């Protein structure tokens, strides 16, 4: 089924496609937001007065955690669609806690930085790291909030499998993969720089 009903004029208007497509547009604007941050980084760096420092090791742990969380959510979605409710509930919960663990790891990473004296106003290179990881964390928190709402479905004794609930989980899944990929992009960007 095409996501966008652009050229097929006989297709009836579809609300479901509209919601899926709306999410994509939202993600496009998030891409522009982080594109702007990383472009600013690239423009600012050659100006000089740039403090070099090592990325905290915790960022690599958190990367593994968020990848794991994504894989589990994918499994939860597949289980839900194939009516395997037990696995669905299990995977949903582990994925959710992995999401929390990701945020906790990010906090630990920043605590480690602060203990090394890498404060936000030390140098603009450090400031950028705070902004990038901080804004990313806000988008993860947005995903966590949706996950909590989604868990209320999962918590039910017999979760209702219908088109609407599948759609909701699908949207959550896509967004979650997106913020995961966004983090991997930021990490690779920071390593290369």
Partner 1 sequence: MSAHHNHQDQDVLIEKLGYDDHFHEHHEGDKYQMNFLTKYIFSMDHKIIARQFLFTGIFWAIIGSAMSIIFRLQLGFPDASIAWLKPLLGKWITINDAGMGSLEPEFYYALVTMHGTIIVFFVLTAGLSGTFSNLLIPLQLGARDMASPFLNMLSYWFFFLSSVVMFYSLFLSTGPFSGGWTGYPPLSALPQASIGSGAGMTLWLVSLALFVVSVLLGGMNYITTVLNLRTKGMSLWRMPLTIWAFLVTAILGLLSFPVLFSGFLLLIFDRSMGTSFYLSDIFVNGMALDRIGGSPILYQHIFWFLGHPEVYIIILPAMGIVSEVLSVHARKPIFGYRAMVYSILAIAFLSFIVWAHHMFMAGVNPFISNFFVIFTLIIAVPSAVKVFNWISTLYGGNLRMNTPMLFCIGFVSMFISGGLTGIFLGNSAIDIQQHDTYFVVAHFHIVMGVAAFFGMFAGVYNWFPKMFGRFMNDTLGKIHFWCTMISAYAVFGPMHFLGMAGVPRRYYRFDNFEAFSGFDVMNQFITIAAIFGFMAQLVFVVNFFWSMYKGRKVTEQNPWGSNSLEWTTPIDAGHGNWPGKIPTVQRWAYDYGKDGIEYTQQHVPLREGEEHSSH
Q: Which is nearer to partner 1, 64 or 114 (CB)?
A: 114
- Pairwise CA distance, residues 30 & 111, whole Å: 27
Q: What minimum distance in Å lies between the beta carbon of 184 and partner 1?
A: 20
Q: What minimum distance in Å lies between the beta carbon of 53 and partner 1?
A: 15
Q: Which is nearer to partner 1, 14 or 165 (CB)?
A: 14
- Pairwise CA distance, residues 13 & 83, whole Å: 28
Q: Which is nearer to partner 1, 3 or 64 (CB)?
A: 3
Q: Which is nearer to partner 1, 90 or 131 (CB)?
A: 131
Q: What minimum distance in Å lies between the beta carbon of 81 and partner 1?
A: 23
Residues 6+ apart with CB under 8 A from 62: 102, 105, 106, 109, 183
Residues 6+ apart with CB under 8 A from 176: 69, 70, 73, 95, 99, 143, 147
**What number of residues does the chain have?**
193
Token readout for 192 is: 């290369």
- Pairwise CA distance, residues 172 & 145, whole Å: 10
Distance of CA 30 to the CA centre of its chain: 11
Q: Which is nearer to partner 1, 121 or 163 (CB)?
A: 121
Binding site for partner 1 (CB under 8 A): 4-7, 9-15, 17-19, 21-22, 25-26, 28-30, 32-37, 40, 43-44, 47-50, 120-121, 123-124, 127, 131, 135
Q: What minimum distance in Å lies between the beta carbon of 70 and partner 1?
A: 23
Q: What minimum distance in Å lies between the beta carbon of 7 and partner 1?
A: 7
Q: What minimum distance in Å lies between the beta carbon of 25 and partner 1?
A: 5
23-46 CB burial, b ≥16 within 10 A, e <16: beeebeebeeebeebbeebeeeee
Q: Which is nearer to partner 1, 43 or 157 (CB)?
A: 43
């Amino acid at each position: 089924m095409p996501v966008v009903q652009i050229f097929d004029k006989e297709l009836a208007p579809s609300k479901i496609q509209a919601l899926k497509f709306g999410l994509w547009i939202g993600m496009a604007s998030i891409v522009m937001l982080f594109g702007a941050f990383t472009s600013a980084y690239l423009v600012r760096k050659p100006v000089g007065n740039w403090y070099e420092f090592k990325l905290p090791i915790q960022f690599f742990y958190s990367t593994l955690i968020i990848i794991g969380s994504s894989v589990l959510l994918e499994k939860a979605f597949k289980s839900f669609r194939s009516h395997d409710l037990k696995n669905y509930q299990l995977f949903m919960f582990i994925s959710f806690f992995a999401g929390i663990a990701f945020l906790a790891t990010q906090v630990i990473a920043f605590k480690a930085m602060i203990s090394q004296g890498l404060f936000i106003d030390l140098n603009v290179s450090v400031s950028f790291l705070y902004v990038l990881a901080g804004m990313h964390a806000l988008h993860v928190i947005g995903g966590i909030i949706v996950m909590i709402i989604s868990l209320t479905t999962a918590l039910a004794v017999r979760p209702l499998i219908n088109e609407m609930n599948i759609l909701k989980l699908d949207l959550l899944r896509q967004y979650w993969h997106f913020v995961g990929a966004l983090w991997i992009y930021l990490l690779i960007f920071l390593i290369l720089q």
